[in-house]
Amino acid sequence: ERLPALLAAMPKAELHIHIEGSLEPEMIFALAQRNGVALPYADVEALRRAYAFTDLQSFLDIYYAGASVLLYEQDFYDMARAYLLRAAQDNVVHAEIFFDPQTHTARGVAMETVVNGLYRATQDAQAELGTSSSLILCFLRHLSEEDAFATLEQAQPFLDRIIGVGLDSSEVGNPPEKFARVFARCGELGLHRVAHAGEEGPAAYIWSALDVLKVERIDHGVQAIQDPALMRRLAEERIALTVCPLSNLKLCVFPELAQHNIRQLLDAGLAATVNSDDPAYFGGYLNQNFTELFAAVPELTSQHAWQLAHNSFAASFVPDEQRRAWQ
């Protein structure tokens, strides 16, 4: 074990966490019972046994099934509350939390129900834990741009509770260009913009996320390594990558953690950060991502640890005043 005390103790920001991916199997079953939702798994153990993923899609199928137990505002509150309590234990002092409203509105859950439950949990975490957090609405890229526009319309009354928009779900075959117009509209509305790109998809999707969607950060982005010109651009413009080591391992983006490329990204001057993505599904919350990564990649030093924590604050969407207080 290398540097575990430093990695655990250092204050950090988490910038890539899907709140539906923080739903633990125990909570899935508790909510299924509370809400009278039938699950295609006999018990918690059977559900956990299904968490053997071969790629992104094999994960997404189970992740959307798990989210089907969320019906009421209190369900969304309880889920976000549990994540924020767990994150505080990992010395996460700020979190920018993705949510997937289309997963819920497609089942007849109102946008208001989703946003109110999540937002109330963020407010309580500020008051009770001192953890700051904000919400980023993600569009599902396997659905149409028209569907994304309808979702933005439903979110319109709540835009004061949402700091930005993202793009997630099935990457390959759903390039950023598909969402050019809705992201342009989000820019006009003053929303921050991020997108998953270069997780399984090609480096070309990172270029188009930057040039077409005008994103400020790239979620994952590890395939940038395939394209030296893109690597130079990301370094020069200090565009942050929200890298998720245990996610990459569990979805077979890298065969082993020892082969993860985060050290190459950092050493090339890219603003990489470490994040948990879907911690209930991928085997660990934020500190577990740090400790397993540093245990597997011996070239990572305390200097890299400091850089990763620094990058997480620098890449966050908090006002400059708050950022200066942290750095």
- Among 56, 212, 246, 271, the residue binding ligand HPA under the rule CB under 6 A is 56
Instruction: Report the interhelical angle of 203-211 vs 228-236 (nearest 10°).
Output: 40
Instruction: Tell me the two tokens of residue 322.
Output: 């708050």
270: closest CA among 226, 297, 236? 236
Is 103 among the residues that bind ligand HPA (CB under 6 A)? Answer: no
User: By the 8 A CB rule, do 269 and 263 touch?
Assistant: no
Please list, in sequence order, all residues whose beta carbon lies within 8 angstroms of the beta carbon of residue 56, skipping any fewer than 6 positions away.
Answer: 170, 171, 199, 200, 251
- The pattern of x and - marking residues 60 through 89 that bind ligand HPA according to CB under 6 A reads ---x--------------------------
Residue nearest to ligand HPA according to CB distances in the complex: 168
Whether 153 is catalytic = no
Is 278 among the residues that bind ligand HPA (CB under 6 A)? Answer: yes
CB of 34 to ligand HPA, least distance (A): 24
For residue 216, with 0-12 CB atoms within 10 Å meaning exposed, 13-18 middle and 19 or more buried, which class applies?
A: middle
CB of 232 to Zn ion, least distance (A): 25
Q: Which is nearer to ligand HPA, 75 or 168 (CB)?
A: 168
CA–CA separation, 75 and 35 (whole Å):
9
Active-site residue, selected from the candidate residues 199, 237, 292, 299:
199
H or E stretch covering 145 = helix 145-155
Q: Which is nearer to Zn ion, 121 or 167 (CB)?
A: 167
The one of Zn ion, ligand HPA, none whose footprint includes residue 201, by CB under 5 to 8 A per kind, is none
Is 217 among the residues that bind ligand HPA (CB under 6 A)? Answer: no
Q: Which is nearer to Zn ion, 96 or 277 (CB)?
A: 277
271: closest CA among 228, 233, 326? 233
Q: How far is CA 196 from CA 25, 46, 143, 242, in A?
A: 25, 30, 15, 9
H or E stretch covering 246 = helix 245-250
Q: Where are the beta strands (DSSP E) in 198-281?
A: 217-220, 240-243, 271-274
- Among 22, 151, 169, 288, the residue binding ligand HPA under the rule CB under 6 A is 169
Is 21 among the residues that bind ligand HPA (CB under 6 A)? Answer: yes
Site residues for Zn ion per CB under 5 A: 277
| Residues touching ligand HPA, count (CB under 6 A) | 11
What's the length of the chain? 327
Is 104 among the residues that bind ligand HPA (CB under 6 A)? Answer: no
CA–CA separation, 10 and 23 (whole Å):
25
- Among 68, 102, 113, 247, the residue binding ligand HPA under the rule CB under 6 A is 247
- Among 24, 73, 168, 292, the residue binding ligand HPA under the rule CB under 6 A is 168
Is 248 among the residues that bind ligand HPA (CB under 6 A)? Answer: no
Q: Which is nearer to ligand HPA, 183 or 326 (CB)?
A: 183
The one of Zn ion, ligand HPA, none whose footprint includes residue 21, by CB under 5 to 8 A per kind, is ligand HPA
Q: Which is nearer to Zn ion, 58 or 74 (CB)?
A: 58
- Residue that the structure tokens 């767990």 belong to: 86
CB of 320 to ligand HPA, least distance (A): 29
Helix (H, G, I), strand (E, B) or coil at 193: strand
CB of 53 to ligand HPA, least distance (A): 11
CA–CA separation, 60 and 271 (whole Å):
27
Is 96 among the residues that bind ligand HPA (CB under 6 A)? Answer: no
Question: What is the contact surface with ligand HPA in residues (CB under 6 A)?
Answer: 18, 21, 56, 63, 168-169, 196, 199, 247, 277-278
